């Protein structure tokens, strides 16, 4: 039935994220966040009481947290060239 008793498996976490405004219930953010880990044999994932799996889950959790922070707090757009602050003129002599 299973063929390969030690299949290769990929760690993959998908998180469906919604930010809902409490005052009116409107959805202000809807995002699918994804972390793809490495491919390993089942025996590797489960060795040492699942140490490699736990470490992979920690790495993916950190990656997903960074993705969520970027979605919630995007980097500001750079100022257009004309609006960029210029150097102050030298003081009068």
Q: Where are the domains of the chain?
A: 8-73
List Cα–Cα distances, 12 to 27, 43, 62, 80, in angstroms. Answer: 26, 17, 14, 40
User: Looking at residue 1, what is its pLDDT?
Assistant: 47
Q: What is the pTM of this model?
A: 0.70
What are the pLDDT digits (tens) for 29-81?
999 999 999 999 999 999 999 999 999 999 999 999 999 999 999 888 888 87
Q: Is 38 helix (H, G, I), strand (E, B) or coil?
A: strand
Alpha helix (H) residue ranges in the chain: 42-72
Q: Which residue has the tokens 């100022």?
A: 79
> Measured in Å, how far apart are the chain's first and last C-alpha atoms?
90
């Amino acid at each position: 039935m299973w063929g390969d008793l030690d299949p290769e498996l990929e760690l993959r976490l998908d998180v469906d994220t919604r930010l809902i405004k409490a005052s009116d219930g409107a959805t202000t953010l809807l995002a699918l966040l994804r972390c793809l880990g490495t491919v390993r044999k089942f025996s590797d994932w489960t060795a040492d009481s699942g140490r490699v799996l736990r470490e992979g889950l920690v790495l993916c959790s950190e990656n997903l947290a960074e993705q969520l922070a970027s979605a919630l707090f995007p980097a500001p757009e750079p100022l257009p060239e004309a609006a960029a602050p210029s150097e102050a003129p030298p003081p009068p002599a």
